[in-house]
Amino acid sequence: MNIQGNAYFFGDESDAPNSKFEHYFEWLKQRQNSPSLTWPAHKVESEKIVYKRELFVNVSNDLFYGVVLSARKTHYQHYVTRSGSSVKVETRDVGKNPPVEVNCFCLKRSSNKGIYTHYYGSYAFKAFLGDLWNSYRYFVKEQLSKAESKLDGDSDSFDEDQKNLHSLYSMRGKANWNAIFSPDAFAALVKKLHVVQEVRLTTYELEAPSDAPMKRRVSNVHQTYRMNGAQTIDTSFMSWLKDKMESATRLTKKGKKSVSGSVVGENASGEEKTIFFDENIENLIDYKYDDIGTFDTANLAVNPCIELLIKKVRSEAKFT
């Protein structure tokens, strides 16, 4: 299978001394000893959850790293068999031994930056990051509840003490987790095109004088630039495209950058390709792997996949 690895920033940790990331990952490590506690931690397992997931974590002096196992909560799987021109789809009862998807991650403690591995059909990158962060919020909320239970309800300063606790454990402004984007990755994809036919984007600034009366009523403008003939990729085109991408970038309410647009063209083989502006996440683990391997939950670092993640996170400058 083709395994891809993408870099991410995990966000900012709580100000409360007992709710730092080190406490969170130790808490996750303790949870793995209870098979009934599945992943993600902030969700209660129910019939509506399609996948049953388990997370295993190890902690070192400089890293947090682990593996997530995902299996569909169904007893039946579909398999295809071929015999000559005949194709047969059959259902097999896999019982308590369903096919499992495996994803690995590593996070550097000093920078809160790491890598996550995934492949087609496995636990999606953004879904994992969202679950990892929301489970952290759940952990912090749990620590806040424990701290509140120790307050003296009869004390004259109870209201003030409770207010100070909520301020200490507040997660406001902490959730700036995201993938680490690389503009060079997007540029490299565009440069692989043989010709460009269109550039499509959504801008958030009304520049034309005729739009002035509607400036307060219009939130964005969709634009399409059709090339006069087949536009080849040169320095002037890339410079123009960079300017257009900047006009198509906006900040979300959470302070994250969002960019909307695409480049349409053909590769050297004549195939039409659409490259979206947000396709600028660098693939750091691009390799084929037939067997993800055996995991020793007490020593995950000996697994070749996690060993590779650890080596990259420790050695590459983007994780400092």
Dig out the tokens for 57 from the structure.
Answer: 């974590």
Three-state DSSP state, 241: helix
What's the pLDDT at 223?
A: 87
pLDDT of residue 208: 66
Distance between CA atoms of 163 and 137, rounded to whole angstroms? 18
CA distance 152 to 168: 18
DSSP output for 211-236:
GGGGTTT---EEEEEEEEEEE---HH
Q: Of 47, 89, 37, nearest to 72 (Cα)?
A: 47
Cα 171 to chain centroid distance, Å, stands at 19
Strand-pair partners of 226: 198
As given in the structure block, the two tokens for residue 84 are 């000559």
Please tell me the distance from the alpha carbon of residue 145 to that of residue 139, in angstroms, as a whole number. Answer: 10
CB 29 within 8 A of CB 58: yes
Residue in this structure with the two tokens 């040169």, named with its chain if needed: 234
Side-chain-facing half-sphere of 70: CA atoms under 13 Å: 17
What are the residue ranges of helices labelled H in 116-219?
125-149, 158-168, 183-191
Q: How many CB atoms are closer than 10 A to CB 188?
A: 12
- Kind of pairing between the strands at 287-288 and 2-9: antiparallel
Reference 31, options 5, 68, 63, 57; nearest CA is: 57
What is the Cα gyration radius of the chain? 24
Token pair belonging to 299: 């020593």
Phi, psi at 171, each rounded to 5°: -105, 10
Q: Which two tokens stand for residue 103?
A: 């994803």
118 touches 310 (CB < 8 A)? no
Instruction: List beta partners, residue 64.
Output: 59, 107
For residue 155, report the phi and psi dihedrals to the nearest 5 degrees: -70, 145
User: How buried is residue 243: exposed, middle or buried, by Cβ count under 10 Å (0-12/13-18/19+)?
Assistant: exposed
Assigned token pair, 118? 């995934």
Return d(Cα 206, Cα 212) in angstroms, integer: 7
Distance of alpha carbon 278 from the chain centroid: 13
CA distance 79 to 91: 6
- Going residue by residue through the chain, which has 320 residues, state the pLDDT in tens, using 9 for 90 and above: 778 899 999 999 999 999 999 999 999 999 988 877 889 988 876 656 678 899 999 999 999 999 999 988 777 778 888 888 889 998 888 777 778 889 999 999 999 999 999 988 899 998 999 999 999 999 999 999 999 999 988 888 999 999 999 999 999 989 889 888 777 778 888 988 999 999 998 887 666 677 777 777 777 788 899 988 767 788 899 999 988 888 887 776 666 667 788 999 998 888 898 988 876 778 888 766 666 667 899 999 998 889 999 999 999 998 99
Model's pTM, two decimal places?
A: 0.74
